[in-house]
Amino acid sequence: VGKTTTIQLFLGFIEPTSGSARIKGLEVREHALETKKYLVYIPENVMLYPNLSGLENLEYFTTLAGCGDVEAGELRTTLIQAGLPEEAVDRPVGTYSKGMRQKVGIAMAIARRAELLLLDEPTSGLDPKASNEFSHLVTSMRDQGVAVLMATHDLFRSREIATRIGIMKQGVLVAQLDASDVSHTDLERIYLEHMHD
């Protein structure tokens, strides 16, 4: 079980060989549909309909998730709140950068009032400015009570966003740290010690 596999367990895509994956105390395997109501998954590359605008994509996916009662004006505000430039809201997503697509993903989490955000390498391929903006968005959601599980190789961002950090090697959790107890330098040293055993 690796980082991405752990996320797949919480999504109910695969079953654990031992133990269990729980969301809000519910076993994912037994309550797959119910647990999905609480979460939003943002993969490394957010897949959206390229010919639809950011607003149209958000309308479509929130309706699909059973949140169709949200007004278009509120969704527009949500996209802007998620950091999408106002001029981009009505533009086709095919013209968006990766960072802009990630912001549509965050807007989905906000619109759905997600209680859990699953992120799989969300900052991979983002330039430093977009990565910083994404971190601020996720930190803001975390501070509002949203649980965040992020699989990443970006030690700097993980230390910045996390309250707890786990280091996995070949499917085994080899270290658990409180982010506030470790500096960026110490985190890198601990990571390298475990990866080169």
Determine the pLDDT at residue 100.
93
Say what the pTM is.
0.86
pLDDT at 116: 94
- In angstroms, the CA 22 to CA 75 distance is 30
Q: Within 10 A of 152 (CB to CB), how many other CB atoms are there?
A: 19
pLDDT above 60 for 1: no
Q: Exposed, middle or buried: residue 194 (CB in 10 Å: 0-12, 13-18, 19+)?
A: middle
The arrangement of secondary structure in 3-162, i.e. its CATH architecture, is: 3-Layer(aba) Sandwich (3.40)
Q: How many angstroms separate the most distant Cα atoms in the chain?
A: 54
- pLDDT single digits (tens) 98-156: 999 999 999 998 888 899 999 998 888 888 888 888 899 899 999 999 999 998 888 88
Q: Is residue 18 very low, low, confident or very high in pLDDT (cuts 50, 70, 90)?
A: confident
Residue with tokens 């740290």: 177
Quick one: three-class SS letters along the chain?
Answer: CCHHHHHHHHHCCCCCCCCCCEECCEECCCCHHHHHCCEEEECCCCCCCCCCEHHHHHHHHHHHCCCCCCCHHHHHHHHHHCCCCHHHCCCEHHHCCHHHHHHHHHHHHHHCCCCEEEEECCCCCCCHHHHHHHHHHHHHHHHCCCEEEEECCCHHHHHHHCCEEEEEECCEEEEEEEHHHCCHHHHHHHHHHHHCC
Q: Given this model, what pLDDT does residue 4 score? A: 82
> Which pLDDT score, from 0 to 100, does residue 48 have?
96
Q: How confident is the model at residue 197 (pLDDT cuts 50, 70, 90)?
A: low
Query: pLDDT above 90 covers what percent of the chain?
Result: 52
The pLDDT of residue 176: 92
155: which residues sit within 8 A by CB, 6+ positions away?
Answer: 184, 187, 188, 191
- Please name which of 163, 195, 154, 168 lies closest in space to residue 182, comparing C-alpha atoms: 163
Helix axes 54-64, 72-81, angle to 10 degrees: 110
Over residues 143-190, the pLDDT tens digits come to 999 999 998 888 888 888 999 999 988 878 899 999 999 998 998 998
